[in-house]
């Protein structure tokens, strides 16, 4: 098989087939970006509906039941189907290049992870068309989720279970990749911060997702197969669900925010032309945050009635997280201190992130004080807090990362002008929407209310908040326009488009050739590409002679394995209904498809193929390190 053919032009159908079967981390990154971006828009539309409904008191834009479905799907979609996959997109696109690897450790599993996430997300969102979405909040507390009628919660439990498998696989894959596939000279303490945060976030996924999986299985069995884990009448206990959910749910926050921290830790040094201040303490802080993230879950349950001892312990533990987070903030400020700051769009997001995220961080410490949290809990203060963390931290990271890594992924540069318009609209809208919500909460507005009565002093604040949301929406629309225009023009910008790239991903052509590195680079320190550039070189020193490169073959099997679970989920869900005799066969057929595909994968030998040395030499114009 001629290898360089991979880069040849294809028809539309050929391209689709290529993406359905790809195991290349760079293409999987694009799949994650597309799917995550789509779900981000869906979640955004849901957010707009929430703000329209709450713009004025006693509004009837949506009904009470529908509103609960919208808030549930907004939260679930944004966390599981937008933020996580978008971060996975950047992890896939950037991390292997940053450590000088030709792919992730398990390319097949990487594809499987994506398709599981995609089919899980698809299943969850089909609930809108098949009798109603889940309506018990993204936390899906057990007494309410068991009482909820219809199949909404079943869609939630099964959909998240399937996509959760994908996430878990992705996490394990990244861990193995970072441990095993670093280029010569790339020691742990020379890894870029984004790789470090990917590493720690993946470790968190490894330990945090199993509790969710167990909890979801219990919920699935309670709702569909007659068990009673959470059914008090049968001797169950609903508080157990809260523990399971938050033992997962709190680390999940760090799974999301640490990679965003990583993106900012790349952007700051690049556009300040100055190495990251206190690299080793940044690494230390990242690991510490990840560790402490598992010690604090019960601060989501201060009002559950765990008693003063538990509440006091978890209050103090939660406060402790502020210390490593503070270290990071100060290190970032000191990174740009004395630097030469260029305000590109990514840098604007990074700069805006600091005060925005600090706002979310300090309200987090305020909530850690349990007696104060008895007032904050389940009010709009909490809504304001976690949106400051998630939007001010993660979404700004994603938007900044999208502009920063766009040339790496597509070889083109998003318009700086449109980018700046998006930035201003989004940032203004964000603060306008959420700052006032702190005060709404303090003035007595509970969260998750579908309407509010006039005469409680809440009218003005809600209206302002809704106006802000409109700004954010316009900002995102302009960003979409930006993407379309940029891709339409398709002006390729080549290698190191920001001119000040410091790490390995910028040392190869953008977008990277499918084999990434023609020769693995020799890493001589932190910011390896910067070191070479400072010595007047334009390329990395290779660590090996040009030789054959072993590549994996494309495979349609991950798609089929995931499709089987998708089919089986319908069977599992409907078998609990009266008069749906077809459901059990569907469940069995789905499982046969999945296990059959796994068996096929196990017994069929697939050794991949080699790119020959000669082809690589011919391909000189295409890049590589020479």
Partner 1 sequence: MKQKLTKWRLFTVFGLMALVLSGCGEPFLSTLIPAGEAGQTAYDIMMLSTWIMVGVVIVVSILFAVAVIKFRRKKGDTTIPKQVEGSHVLEILWTTIPILLLIILAIPTVIATFDLADTKAMDKKNEDGTTDAMVVNVRASLYWWEFEYPNQKIITSQDLVVPTDQKVYFNVKASDVKHSFWIPAAGGKVDNNVENVNQMWLEFDNEKAAEADNLFYGKCAELCGPSHALMDFKVRALPQDEFDQWVTAMQAVDAEAAEETPTDPTAAAGQEVFNQKCLSCHAVTTADARPEAARTAPNLANFGDRELVAGILEHNEEELKNWIEDPEQYKPGNKMTGTYGELSDQELDQLAAYLMGLKVEQ
Residues 426-485 that bind partner 1 (CB under 8 A): 428, 431-432, 435-436, 439, 442-444, 446-453, 456-457, 460-461, 464
> Rounded to an integer, what distance in angstroms lies between the CA atom of residue 607 and that of residue 602?
12
Sort 141 into a burial class: Cβ within 10 Å, 0-12 / 13-18 / 19+.
middle
> Rounded to an integer, what distance in angstroms lies between the CA atom of residue 204 and that of residue 291?
8
* Residue with Cβ nearer partner 1 (412 or 437): 437
Applying CB under 8 A, among 179, 234, 320, 617 the residue interacting with partner 1 is 320
Applying CB under 8 A, among 334, 470, 474, 583 the residue interacting with partner 1 is 334
Smallest distance from the beta carbon of 226 to partner 1, in angstroms? Answer: 19
Applying CB under 8 A, among 16, 64, 179, 620 the residue interacting with partner 1 is 64
* Residue with Cβ nearer partner 1 (34 or 372): 372
* Residue with Cβ nearer partner 1 (175 or 359): 359
Tell me the site size for partner 1, rule CB under 8 A. 98
> What is the CA 516 to chain-centroid distance, rounded?
24
Encoding tokens for residue 527? Answer: 């910011």
Does 49 engage in binding with partner 1 (CB under 8 A)?
no
> Rounded to an integer, what distance in angstroms lies between the CA atom of residue 517 and that of residue 26?
13
CB neighbours (10 Å) of residue 231? Answer: 17
Sort 350 into a burial class: Cβ within 10 Å, 0-12 / 13-18 / 19+.
buried
* Residue with Cβ nearer partner 1 (321 or 409): 321
Three-state secondary-structure class, residue 609: strand
Applying CB under 8 A, among 9, 534, 536, 605 the residue interacting with partner 1 is 534
68: number of CA atoms within 13 Å, CB side?
15
Smallest distance from the beta carbon of 337 to partner 1, in angstroms? Answer: 5
Applying CB under 8 A, among 2, 280, 487, 538 the residue interacting with partner 1 is 280
480 and 499 Cβ atoms separated by less than 8 Å:
no
Does 57 engage in binding with partner 1 (CB under 8 A)?
no
* Residue with Cβ nearer partner 1 (225 or 343): 343
Q: Which stretch binds partner 1 (CB under 8 A): 20-28, 211-219, 277-285, 613-621?
A: 277-285
Smallest distance from the beta carbon of 434 to partner 1, in angstroms? Answer: 11
Q: Which stretch binds partner 1 (CB under 8 A): 21-29, 316-324, 510-518, 580-588?
A: 316-324
Smallest distance from the beta carbon of 533 to partner 1, in angstroms? Answer: 10
> Rounded to an integer, what distance in angstroms lies between the CA atom of residue 175 and that of residue 100?
15
Smallest distance from the beta carbon of 411 to partner 1, in angstroms? Answer: 25
Radius of gyration of the chain (CA): 24
242 and 304 Cβ atoms separated by less than 8 Å:
yes
* Residue with Cβ nearer partner 1 (448 or 601): 448
H or E stretch covering 33: helix 25-53
Does 418 engage in binding with partner 1 (CB under 8 A)?
no
Closest CA to 623 of 491, 496, 490: 496
Does 612 engage in binding with partner 1 (CB under 8 A)?
no
CB neighbours (10 Å) of residue 57? Answer: 15
Smallest distance from the beta carbon of 143 to partner 1, in angstroms? Answer: 4
* Residue with Cβ nearer partner 1 (64 or 617): 64
* Residue with Cβ nearer partner 1 (323 or 588): 323
Q: Rule CB under 8 A: which of 103-162 touch partner 1?
A: 135-137, 141, 143-144, 147
> What is the CA 133 to chain-centroid distance, rounded?
22
Does 272 engage in binding with partner 1 (CB under 8 A)?
yes
Applying CB under 8 A, among 132, 210, 339, 542 the residue interacting with partner 1 is 339
Applying CB under 8 A, among 183, 351, 540, 587 the residue interacting with partner 1 is 351
Q: What are the C-alpha distances in Å from 242 to residues 234, 298, 319?
A: 18, 9, 21
Does 315 engage in binding with partner 1 (CB under 8 A)?
yes
Closest CA to 298 of 316, 285, 283, 311: 311
Three-state secondary-structure class, residue 335: helix
Q: Rule CB under 8 A: which of 225-244 touch partner 1?
A: 232, 237-239
Smallest distance from the beta carbon of 583 to partner 1, in angstroms? Answer: 27
Q: Rule CB under 8 A: which of 356-415 touch partner 1?
A: 358-359, 362-363, 365-366, 368-379
* Residue with Cβ nearer partner 1 (75 or 564): 75
* Residue with Cβ nearer partner 1 (135 or 252): 135
Annotate 256-283 with b (16+ C-beta within 10 A) or e (fewer): bbbbbbbbbbbbbbbbbebbbbbbeebb
Cα torsion angle, 273, 256, 393, 403, sign: positive
Applying CB under 8 A, among 6, 273, 601, 622 the residue interacting with partner 1 is 273
Does 59 engage in binding with partner 1 (CB under 8 A)?
no
Q: Look at the block and give the residue holding tokens 């398990």.
A: 106
Angle between helices 322-336 and 345-368 (to 10 degrees): 150
Smallest distance from the beta carbon of 396 to partner 1, in angstroms? Answer: 15
Encoding tokens for residue 66? Answer: 């529908």
* Residue with Cβ nearer partner 1 (230 or 405): 230
* Residue with Cβ nearer partner 1 (91 or 272): 272
Smallest distance from the beta carbon of 305 to partner 1, in angstroms? Answer: 4
Angle between helices 107-126 and 25-53 (to 10 degrees): 20
Binding mask 284-313 for partner 1 (x = CB under 8 A): -------------------xxx-xx--xx-
> Rounded to an integer, what distance in angstroms lies between the CA atom of residue 24 and that of residue 9?
17
> What is the CA 44 to chain-centroid distance, rounded?
15
């Amino acid at each position: 098989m001629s290898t360089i053919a991979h880069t040849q032009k294809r028809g539309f159908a050929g391209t689709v087939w290529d993406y359905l079967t790809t195991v290349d981390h760079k293409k999987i990154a694009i799949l994650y970006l597309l799917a995550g971006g789509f779900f981000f828009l869906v979640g955004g539309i849901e957010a707009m509906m929430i703000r329209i409904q709450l713009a004025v008191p006693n509004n009837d834009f949506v009904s009470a039941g529908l509103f609960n479905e919208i808030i549930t799907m907004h939260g679930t979609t944004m966390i599981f189907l937008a933020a996580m996959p978008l971060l996975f997109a950047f992890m896939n696109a950037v991390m292997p290049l940053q450590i000088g690897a030709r792919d992730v450790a398990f390319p097949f599993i990487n594809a499987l992870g994506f398709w599981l996430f995609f089919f899980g997300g698809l299943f969850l969102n089909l609930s809108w068309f098949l009798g109603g979405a889940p309506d018990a909040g993204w936390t899906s507390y057990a007494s309410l989720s068991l009482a909820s009628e219809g199949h909404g919660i079943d869609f939630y439990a099964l959909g998240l279970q399937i996509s959760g498998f994908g996430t878990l696989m992705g996490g394990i894959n990244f861990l193995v990749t970072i441990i095993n596939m670093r280029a010569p000279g790339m020691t742990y303490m020379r890894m870029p911060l984004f790789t470090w945060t990917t590493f720690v976030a993946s470790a968190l996924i490894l330990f945090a997702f199993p509790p969710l999986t167990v909890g979801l299985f219990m919920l699935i069995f309670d709702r569909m197969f007659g068990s009673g884990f959470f059914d008090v009448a049968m001797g169950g206990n609903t508080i157990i669900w809260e523990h399971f959910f938050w033992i997962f749910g709190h680390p999940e926050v760090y799974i999301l925010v640490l990679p965003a921290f990583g993106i900012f830790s790349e952007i700051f040094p690049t556009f300040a032309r100055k190495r990251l201040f206190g690299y080793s303490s940044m690494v230390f802080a990242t690991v510490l945050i990840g560790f402490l993230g598992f010690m604090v879950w019960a601060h989501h349950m201060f009002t559950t009635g765990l008693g003063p001892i538990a509440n006091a312990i978890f209050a103090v533990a939660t406060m402790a997280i502020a210390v490593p987070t503070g270290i990071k903030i100060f290190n970032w400020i000191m990174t740009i201190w004395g630097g030469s700051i260029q305000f590109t769009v990514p840098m604007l997001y990074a700069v805006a992130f600091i005060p925005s995220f600090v706002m979310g961080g300090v309200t987090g410490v305020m909530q850690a004080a349990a007696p104060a949290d008895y007032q904050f809990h389940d009010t709009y203060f909490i809504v304001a807090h976690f949106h400051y963390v998630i939007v001010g931290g993660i979404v700004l990271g994603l938007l900044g990362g999208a502009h920063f890594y766009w040339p790496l992924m597509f070889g083109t540069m998003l318009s700086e002008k449109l980018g700046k318009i998006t930035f201003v609209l989004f940032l203004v809208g964000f603060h306008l929407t959420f700052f006032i919500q702190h005060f709404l909460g303090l003035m007595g507005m509970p969260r998750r209310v579908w309407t509010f009565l006039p005469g409680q002093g809440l009218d003005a604040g809600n209206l302002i908040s809704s106006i802000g949301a409109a700004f954010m929406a316009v900002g995102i629309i302009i960003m979409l326009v930006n993407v379309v225009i940029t891709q339409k023009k398709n002006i390729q910008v080549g290698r190191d488009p920001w001119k000040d790239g410091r790490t390995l991903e910028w040392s190869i052509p953008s977008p990277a050739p499918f084999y990434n590195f023609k020769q693995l680079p020799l890493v001589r320190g932190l910011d390896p590409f910067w070191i070479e550039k400072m010595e007047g070189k334009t390329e990395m020193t290779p660590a090996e002679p040009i030789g054959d490169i072993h590549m994996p073959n494309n495979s349609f099997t991950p798609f089929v394995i995931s499709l089987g679970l998708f089919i089986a989920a319908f069977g599992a869900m409907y078998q609990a209904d009266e008069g749906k005799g077809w459901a059990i066969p569907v469940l069995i057929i789905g499982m046969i498809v999945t296990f059959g595909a796994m068996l096929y994968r196990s017994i069929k030998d697939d050794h991949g193929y080699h790119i020959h040395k000669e082809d690589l030499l011919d391909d000189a114009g295409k890049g590589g390190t020479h």
